[in-house]
Structure 1
């Protein structure tokens, strides 16, 4: 336990070396409009996804996919949705969409964790880029993901909405082009997005959420990664209850998933210093306790236990291909 916490705390010191060079707080409506969840995350569009090939090897084509956001926020760079793909020539193979974590600088962790295993089974892989991250990072942003979760409450809400809606649309485009099932695997903040996706999208054949956040308001207010956002909000007179109310539309535990319960796998880390496991427990209980694995590690288990995590995820997804 102590070892796991120490590693997480060391990693958090490095995490906080990237700090914002400008304030983000922008005033928002005190009285939150009651948003309809299905309307808020709705999409009837199948985007025109362009695939740019970079290499062809061993029956696989690799490259970059791009499409214009279904719900643009107003930043040209961010509103071009992009990501990496590794696609087998067999259109009947399963398709796995990976959603990375907050502030990730690349998809390396997900690639190292899963790509070798999935290539052995000839599965297709798509690495979806979250708003304001990686290639979608605005020029003025100090680091990847700075503008997705910040003291700009309304922009945070819209960025999460954009992530979910565009992910839904991307799933629909894969369903149209490919014949195999579509699985979604989210990591950390990506798990938070994947959980939200499960509450509005029934075209996902299985989902895995790894070391996920349930309540973004709780995470900002009560965990180390959110401390500077909390500080900026407090300096502007914002209290927890206000952002909690404003972020209810972003909380997956408030509604049941549209995916079958036995097609959901939740993974948590017992000593996680990034994600409050009690917050993760809330989702698990609210969703009537789907399959869950709790690892004896911290958030750093993403690296230290990646082989075990990959094995557990692959076993779960392989079983879903047989049903």
Structure 2
């Protein structure tokens, strides 16, 4: 057990505490929505890019070896580090942010040329066919005067519109009540970064193309580290991350590789994207084909271990980690969340009654985020006390 954990005054909330009966009812009501989402994601994931022969599978396995080299996994900076030259942020749109007819901040949409370059030579030509992902996008709500801290948000699989996630994370609460500067990052293959070849955002990442998924997570990590540098250049105050689902997984990864992050809050986050997808595959014919070709749950995780938080020790201190899960979440189940909680030495954990797709009573976790940031000294007690209940 880490010294940070032993000395921390923050509460350890058990993963196994029994929920109240009303919360069980709320959780039950969300499960139907999760089942619909799961069916859609299973069809989307398993309907693409599964090798069709032993020869093609062996070829993919050979290509995957560059991502699982033991020296690389011990030192992920070799692929996930900051680029030698940081790109400039370009303002797409900027306008005053007002409240009660008074200007209180700046609402921005920024873009940048991705500094990422493909690692796999065969993927390079495919990557060139996706010009949409060569441009990164970030939105922000910034205070007129430097805020005491910044939170960087990112989104889940298949979504990405900033207007949607302003509501999901209650950005007005983070900005106005807690006083944070808020930034939002759009991942490759989502939103306006969806390639024309895809029917919808998220179809091509994560996907059953194991090489493309590794490359897209490498691109994501490099871009996020670039944006953390840009944020710190604007305001040297502490920076933390929060994301939901795929964004929670990404936040946990970034907390494992970037020591500049001051706090991290993964929401509805799997510990292993490979384990999550494998466990939900069921008896789908394409899953059975993968089994016949020699894929297993363990091999699948190994091939994606570079970007799994389970591979790395977190760089964010124990007392500044908080995990949020949904009591009714049947997509990222308790087992998948527990793996991250255990790997992170059982940090602060909060459960709200909602599910994965239908996040009923999500205000509860929003307010718990405020209390967590108060407890670690990122925001003032007064800010949390004055926030609306």
TM-score, normalising length from structure 1?
A: 0.89
| Cα distance in 2, alignment partners of residues 130 and 227 from structure 1 | 28
For residue 213 of structure 1, the aligned residue among 253, 262, 270 is: 270
User: How far is the alpha carbon of 1:321 from its aligned partner?
Assistant: 1.6
* 1:167 corresponds to which of 224, 239, 243: 224
Quick one: structure 1 residues 273 and 123, their matched pair in 2 at CA, closer, same or farther if it must change by over 3 Å? same
Matched residues in 2 for 1:202 and 1:230: separation? 38
Match of 1:317 in 2: 373
Residue 42 of structure 1: aligned partner: 81
- After superposing the two structures, state which structure 1 stretch, 108-117 or 219-228, moved more: 219-228
Q: 2:243, 2:250 within 8 Å by CA — same for their partners in 1?
A: yes
- State the alpha-carbon separation in 2 of the partners of residues 142 and 235 from structure 1: 29
Bigger-Rg structure (1/2): 2
- Return the match for 2:65 from 22, 32, 45: 32
Count of residues in Structure 1 that have an aligned counterpart in Structure 2:
322
Q: Is the 8 A contact 1:68 1:81 kept in 2?
A: yes
Moved more, 62-71 or 136-145: 62-71
Q: Which residue number corresponds to residue 63 of structure 1?
A: 108
Of structures 1 and 2, the one scoring higher in RCO (CA 8 A, sep 6+) is: 2
Quick check: 29-38 or 145-154, which moved more?
29-38
Shift of the alpha carbon at 1:131? 1.2
Q: Which runs of 5+ in 2 are unaligned?
A: 1-23, 52-56, 98-102, 119-126, 381-389
Out of 148-157 and 84-93, give the one that drifted further: 84-93
Counterpart in the other structure of 1:52: 92
CA displacement at 1:275 relative to structure 2: 0.5
Q: Check conservation: 1:51, 1:65, Cα contact below 8 A.
A: yes
- Greater share of helix residues, 1 or 2? 2
The residue matched to 1:23 in structure 2 has which SS? coil
Deviation of 1:150 after TM superposition, in Å, equals 0.7
- Determine the structure 2 residue equivalent to 1:81: 136
**C-alpha separation between the residues in 1 aligned to 2:38 and 2:307?**
24
Deviation string for 1:193-248 (max 9, x for gaps)? Answer: 01010111011111111110111111111136997974674586643333222011
Query: Which whole-Å CA distance do the structure 1 matches of 2:283 and 2:264 have between them?
Result: 26
Query: What displacement does 1:90 show?
Result: 1.0
Contact 1:186 1:192 in 2 (8 A): yes
Shift of 1:24: 2.1
Partners of 2:353 and 2:360 within 8 A in 1: no
Matches of 1:257 and 1:200, distance apart in 2? 7
Partner residue in 2 for 1:8: 31
Q: Which range is displaced more, 242-251 or 199-208?
A: 242-251
Rounded to whole Å, the distance in 1 between the matches of 2:289 and 2:96 is 48
Show CA shifts across 1:46-76 (max 9, x none): 3311223342132322131111222144232
Assess if the C-alpha contact under 8 Å between 1:5 and 1:273 holds in 2.
Answer: no
Q: Secondary structure at the match of 1:78?
A: helix
CA contact (8 A) 2:243 2:249 kept: yes
Give the CA deviation at 1:139. Answer: 0.7
CA RMSD, Structure 1 to Structure 2 (Å): 2.8
Q: Cα 1:14–1:225, aligned 2, differ >3 Å: closer, same or farther?
A: farther
Q: TM-score, normalised by structure 2?
A: 0.75
Match of 1:94 among 134, 139, 149: 149
**Any conservation in 2 of the 1:220–1:226 contact (CA below 8 Å)?**
no
Match of 1:97, SS? strand
TM-aligned CA deviation for residue 276 of structure 1: 2.4
Does structure 2 retain, via aligned residues, the 8 Å contact 1:223–1:275? no
